[in-house]
A = this chain, B = another copy of it.
Amino acid sequence: MPDRLEMNLLLDFYGELLTEKQQEICDLYYRQDLSLQEIAELMKISRAAVHDTLSRCRKELSHYEEILQMVKSSIHRREIYTKIKSISGQNVSELIDKCIETEIGGNYE
């Protein structure tokens, strides 16, 4: 089962594949650090429903990572980027920065 840090990474990469409600519950639990009971009250659902949703999300997100390995690959590449930057000049460093922009969420155009 992924721990809190791993879940935050999985949410960064695959979170948008979850439903809006799942995303909201994961956000409240893993990012805003609310308890199951607090989330249950806020969302007007049972504590058991919160627990089940979180459990299903962990399973879904772990499945995506098992197949796609986006987190593992990205962490591995970032380590290599760091090595390359440590032995390269400015031209290459700037190109590596462009690679870094494509990591986690593909936040570039």
Residues on A facing B (Cβ under 8 Å): 13-14, 16-17, 64, 67-70, 72-73, 76-77, 80-81, 83-84, 87-88, 91-92, 95-96, 98-99, 102-103, 105-106, 108
Contact = CB atoms under 8 A, between A and B. Distances in A.
Contacts of A99: 77, 80-81, 99
Contacts of A98: 76, 80
Contacts of A105: 69
A68 B106 contact: yes
Determine the main DSSP class of A at the interface with B. Answer: helix
Contacts of A77: 77, 99, 102
Contact of A76 (B17, B80, B81, B102): B102
- Chain copies in the assembled complex: 2
Contact of A95 (B13, B80, B106): B80
A87 B91 contact: yes
A20 B105 CA distance: 27
Given A73-B106, A102-B76, A102-B77, A16 B67 contact: yes
